[in-house]
């Protein structure tokens, strides 16, 4: 370090200069950052208006757009990838229109003060890997039981039931007991047999129907057949999805507040 | 335009310089942008790893953190407001740790190349207003029926029922017909009476119980009493919340894909 990377940067540019750089960044699919005083109109399924203030506009190479205020981890305005951009300077304003066709939506950002405009090619082939353990999957199910099915209510977890411990134990919306066995990887015949043993143990004590659900990101043929024979069910659930659910549950309160 | 605003900007800085600016931005609650080559570790309820690549790091005055890749409108890593930051340079790396206590979470961003570091005070008192019409509220309910209640299933909308049109018409999870009357502003006695008229008209033809739900962001005393007398229900629903729901439904597919 440092390694020099060619990129464009304008400090306190004139509107015409900024317009040129924004247009070039968009046409060459570069990442663009514009910091300045702006106001924003959104028109789509709903309608929103953001009064003037100093913000950070980011346009990405895939045509997504974000407007960030000085606080909050969520953008105040945004558009998903695939926008078409129209940029123009008009009097002393810079207008950036981000338009989508399906559904018809447009975000217009008007700048009357420009502090910083920068565009560059970001080279990024790095892989993102999210890891959730089997315990994380249990937690996700407990915090967001709809991952199993609508109306599922967990009663306990890691419940001791000979010959071991039931991962998650609950009730479905019809009041039937549900035994959930979770696997982080492909569900095998052994997992299906294990689930069947728990169910047999519980059926002996319970006075009502007991359902068994094997939960895993994938299932092999042997396990599928065994489940069918034993009258048990399978539910696809990815550890990655659980990891996201865990973060979502936790940031939900915040998001609700920010809405 | 242009109006000159004092801010800090470093182009291709050395690690030690960048460290100083990051520390100053964090301690003075300024907005910070760092563009460079980085990798990211997240450890919290789950665990994630992002391999090296060129990205944009944003830290806001409220202590939220975002790492943006060159594509996608969502950040690849993020932390909500309230993080405590620890920054240090070590050999030729810049390390930025963003730590939260409850729940215990940390994001560590390691930079080995720095292209741009900029920090500034963003002055932003502008109000954000999101507008949804009564029609938008109908649409939101149709697309996300749980806005009314879990298990609600819309059957039709703007159904002609003398003396007018029922806003949304559906069935609850117990199989009862539900007539939904939506108001964008405070629900009044008149709205309650109108709903009652629709229900009377439908009861004449239906062979089962009919529920009536008046939906609005607020309700006055007269309307509340009238609903009680008529055996009808009230559900708080904000136009702003509907507008958000509409956007969420629409971007959900994309978000699922990005997960």
| Chain B residues touching residue A247 (CB < 8 angstroms) | 44-46
Specify the residue for token string 């209510």: A153
State the Cα–Cα distance between residues B32 and B34, nearest whole angstrom. 7
Residues β-bridged to residue A9: A118
Q: How far is CA A134 from CA A158, A163, A239, A242, A252, in A?
A: 12, 19, 8, 10, 23
- Give the integer Cα–Cα distance in Å for B239 and B131: 7
Q: What is the mean pLDDT of residues B190-209?
A: 87
Position A170 confidence tier, pLDDT thresholds 50, 70, 90: very high
Q: Which residues contact A53 (CB under 8 A, 6 or more apart)?
A: A37, A38, A39, A69, B122, B123, B124, B125, B126
Are residues B114 and A5, on separate chains, in Cβ contact within 8 Å? no
Interface of A with B in 18-37 (CB under 8 A): 31, 33, 35
If you average pLDDT over every residue of chain A, what do you get?
A: 90
Helix (H, G, I), strand (E, B) or coil at B251: helix
Q: Does the beta carbon of A241 lie under 8 angstroms from any beta carbon of chain B? A: yes
Q: How confident is the model at residue B1 (pLDDT cuts 50, 70, 90)?
A: low
When comparing pLDDT for A161 and A16, which is higher?
A: A16
Confidence category of residue B91, pLDDT binned at 50, 70, 90: confident
**All residues at 6 or more sequence positions from B111 whose CB lies less than 8 Å from its CB, including other chains:** B15, B18, B34, B36, B37, B38, B57, B93, B94, B95, B96
Q: Which of B123, B130, B250 sits opposite A48 (nearest CB)?
A: B130
pLDDT tens digits for range B17-60:
999 999 999 999 999 999 999 999 999 878 899 999 999 999 99
If you write DSSP's letter for every residue of A30-97 in order, what string do you get? -EEEEEEEEEEEEESSSEEEEEEEEEEEEE-TTS-EEEE-SS-SS-SEEE-S--EEEEEEETTEEEEE
User: What integer pLDDT is reported at residue A218 of this predicted model?
Assistant: 92
| A54 shares contact with chain B (CB less than 8 Å) | yes
pTM (predicted TM-score): 0.75
Q: Which of residues 136-155 of B touch A (CB under 8 A)?
A: 136, 139, 150
Q: Which of B2, B72, B76 faces A113 most closely, judged by CB atoms? A: B2
User: How close A67 comes to chain B (CA, Å)?
Assistant: 10
Q: For the segment B147-185, what is each residue's pLDDT rounded down to a tens digit?
A: 999 999 998 888 788 778 889 989 999 889 999 999 998
d(C-alpha B78, C-alpha B48), whole Å: 11
Hey, are the CB atoms on A53 and B115 less than 8 Å from each other?
Answer: no
Interchain CB contact of A243 with B (< 8 Å)? yes
Which pair of tokens denotes residue B245?
């729901």
A62 and B76 within 8 Å at the Cβ level: the answer is no
Residue A21 Cα to chain centre, angstroms: 31
Count the Cβ atoms, other than its own, within 10 Å of residue B128. Answer: 16
- pLDDT value, residue B94: 98
- On whether any CB of chain A is under 8 Å from the CB of B54, the answer is yes
Which residues on B lie below 8 Å from A13 (Cβ)? Answer: 2
A197 and chain B in contact, CB less than 8 A: no
Nearest residue of chain B to residue A42 (CA atoms):
B130
pLDDT in tens, A73-121: 999 999 999 999 999 998 899 999 999 998 889 999 999 999 999 999 9
The percentage of chain A sitting over the pLDDT mark of 70, rounded to a whole number, equals: 95
Whether residue A1 and residue B7 make contact (CB cut-off 8 A), yes or no, is no
Closest in B62, B70, B118 to A31, CB measured = B70
Q: Token pair of A30, please?
A: 């570069």
Is the Cβ pair B53, A123 closer than 8 Å?
yes
The mean per-residue pLDDT over the stretch A181-195 comes to 93
Nearest CA in chain A to B45: A246
- The model's confidence at residue B104, banded by pLDDT at 50, 70 and 90, is confident
């Amino acid at each position: 370090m440092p390694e020099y990377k060619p990129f464009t940067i304008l400090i306190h540019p004139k509107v015409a200069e900024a317009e040129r750089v924004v247009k070039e960044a968009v046409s060459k699919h570069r990442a663009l950052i514009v910091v300045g005083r702006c106001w924003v109109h959104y028109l789509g399924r709903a309608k929103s208006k953001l009064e003037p203030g100093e913000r950070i506009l980011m346009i990405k190479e895939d045509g997504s757009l974000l407007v960030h205020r000085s606080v909050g981890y969520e953008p105040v305005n945004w558009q998903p990838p695939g926008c078409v951009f129209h940029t123009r300077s008009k009097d002393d304003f810079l207008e950036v229109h981000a338009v989508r066709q399906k559904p018809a939506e447009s975000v217009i950002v008007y700048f009357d003060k420009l502090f910083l405009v920068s565009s560059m090619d970001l080279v990024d082939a790095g892989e993102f890997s999210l890891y959730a353990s089997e315990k994380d999957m249990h937690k996700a199910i407990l915090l967001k039981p709809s991952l199993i099915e609508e109306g599922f209510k967990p009663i306990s977890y890691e419940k001791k039931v000979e010959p071991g411990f039931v991962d998650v134990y609950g009730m479905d919306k019809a009041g039937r007991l549900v035994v959930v066995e979770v696997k982080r990887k492909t569900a095998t015949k052994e997992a299906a047999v294990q689930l069947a043993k728990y169910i047999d143990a519980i059926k002996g004590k319970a006075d009502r129907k007991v359902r068994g659900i094997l939960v895993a990101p994938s299932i092999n043929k042997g396990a599928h057949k065994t489940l069918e024979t034993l009258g048990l069910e399978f539910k696809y659930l990815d550890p990655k999805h659980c990891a996201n659910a865990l973060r979502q549950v936790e940031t939900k309160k915040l998001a609700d507040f920010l809405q």
